[in-house]
């Protein structure tokens, strides 16, 4: 098993000069090439921070992240990010959006126009893969949320990244569209052989997509538990009804509740009832 991403004693402290927030403490994690890892945990446990540090959008305060053995010191074309908000350019068509990063690089890094031609072939292929051929000339505001996110994913895949970093990419979509997107993202993962790190609040999504689910805990942000997902590599929606799936979902949800520092509903109800009882 070849290690793709090594996270070693990673720490991140945000400070505004007066207050410090320890967003990550002593995070250690190795992610193999062509592995699909999902990150879950209570709000504020550092999932997005960790993803942004892998992407090079944020600098660690302590420790190191290496990709292919080389320390991450900023963003790179080998690591593409997809966010919850599609961040498409409203004045560009679908196809122009997909090719946009390539166009920018022509100016910035002296990529030749023949590189751009090759990218155009790939852009066409990605457009079909996403089922968006009919929408190539449409503008983002003419598309549904699911279609916009497919454009954002195609744009991220255009430069053939080895690593896809996804921050709640389906968080704004309705349940049916999410299911379709889950199968699409798994299909792309198998085709493109990327290494995926996927942040989500949705435990079911984390289990369905991930080979491992990394549960993080807040204050300070840290890894609490790593779960191997006991499902066959080839997923299908019916697996969500299997006893292993349901058992793991329960276990992870329970642990998120325990680590979130919030009281369980029953505790809270008992307390409220006591406070409102007369005498």
* Contact residues for ligand ATP, defined by CB under 6 A: 14, 21, 23, 41, 43-49, 201, 221
Instruction: Using the minimum distance from each CB to ligand ATP, give the nearer residue, 163 or 215.
Output: 215
Shortest distance, position 24 Cβ to ligand ATP, whole Å = 8
In the complex, what is the shortest distance from the CB of residue 201 to ligand ATP, in angstroms, rounded to a whole number? 6
Q: Which is nearer to ligand ATP, 58 or 192 (CB)?
A: 58
Nearer to ligand ATP, 40 or 95 (CB): 40
**Of the two residues 54 and 119, which places its CB atom closer to ligand ATP in the complex?**
54
Q: Cα 239 to chain center, whole Å?
A: 22
Which tokens in the block code for residue 149? 């996110």
Nearest distance from residue 255's CB to ligand ATP, in Å? 15
Pairing of the two strands 195-199 and 163-167: parallel
C-beta closer to ligand ATP: residue 61 or 101: 61
Output the smallest distance, CB 108 to ligand ATP, in A: 26
- Least Cβ distance, residue 83 to ligand ATP (angstroms): 11
Q: Tell me the closest approach of the beta carbon of residue 38 to ligand ATP, in angstroms.
A: 13
Distance in angstroms between the alpha carbons of the first and the last residue of the chain = 65
Spatial contact of 4 and 195, defined as CB atoms under 8 Å apart: yes
Of 57 and 92, which has the nearer Cβ to ligand ATP?
57
Angle between helix axes 145-157 and 94-109 (nearest 10 degrees) is 30
- The minimum distance between CB 236 and ligand ATP, in angstroms, equals 28
Q: Of 14 and 89, which has the nearer Cβ to ligand ATP?
A: 14
Burial status of residue 206 (CB atoms within 10 A of its CB: 0-12, 13-18, 19 or more): buried
Nearest to 48 by CA among 17, 6, 82: 82
Q: Which is nearer to ligand ATP, 129 or 197 (CB)?
A: 197
DSSP state for residue 25 in the 8-state scheme: E
DSSP 8-21: EEEEEEEE-SS-EE
- Residues 202 and 204: their CA atoms lie apart, in Å, by 6
- DSSP-assigned beta bridge partners for residue 196: 36, 164
CB of 8 to ligand ATP, least distance (A): 19
- Sheet containing strand 222-228, edge to edge, reads 79-82, 163-167, 195-199, 36-41, 212-217, 222-228
Joined tokens for residue 132: 């968006």
CB 154 within 8 A of CB 86: no
């Amino acid at each position: 098993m070849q290690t793709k991403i090594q996270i070693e004693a990673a720490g991140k402290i945000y400070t505004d000069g007066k207050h410090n927030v320890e967003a990550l403490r002593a995070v250690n994690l190795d992610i193999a090439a062509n592995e699909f890892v999902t990150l879950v945990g209570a709000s504020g446990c550092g999932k997005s921070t960790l993803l942004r540090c892998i992407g090079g959008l944020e600098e660690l305060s302590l420790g190191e992240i290496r990709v292919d053995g080389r320390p991450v010191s900023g963003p790179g074309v080998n690591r593409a990010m997809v966010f919850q908000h599609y961040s498409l350019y409203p004045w560009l068509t679908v196809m122009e959006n997909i090719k946009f990063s390539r166009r920018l690089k022509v100016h910035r890094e002296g990529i030749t126009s023949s590189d751009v031609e090759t990218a155009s072939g790939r852009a066409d292929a990605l457009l079909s893969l996403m089922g968006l051929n009919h929408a190539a000339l449409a503008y983002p505001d003419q598309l549904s949320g699911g279609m916009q996110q497919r454009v954002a994913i195609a744009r991220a895949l255009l430069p053939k990244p080895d690593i896809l970093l996804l921050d709640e990419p389906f968080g704004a979509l309705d349940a049916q569209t999410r299911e379709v997107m889950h199968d699409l993202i798994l299909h792309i993962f198998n085709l493109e052989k990327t290494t995926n790190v996927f942040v989500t609040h949705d435990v079911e999504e984390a289990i369905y997509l991930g080979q491992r689910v990394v549960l993080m805990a807040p204050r300070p942000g840290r890894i609490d538990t790593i779960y191997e997902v006991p499902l066959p590599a080839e997923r299908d929606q019916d697996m969500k009804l299997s006893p292993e799936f349901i058992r793991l979902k329960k276990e992870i949800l329970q642990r998120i509740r325990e680590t979130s520092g919030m009281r369980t509903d029953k505790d809270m109800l008992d307390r409220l009832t006591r406070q409102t009882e007369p005498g």
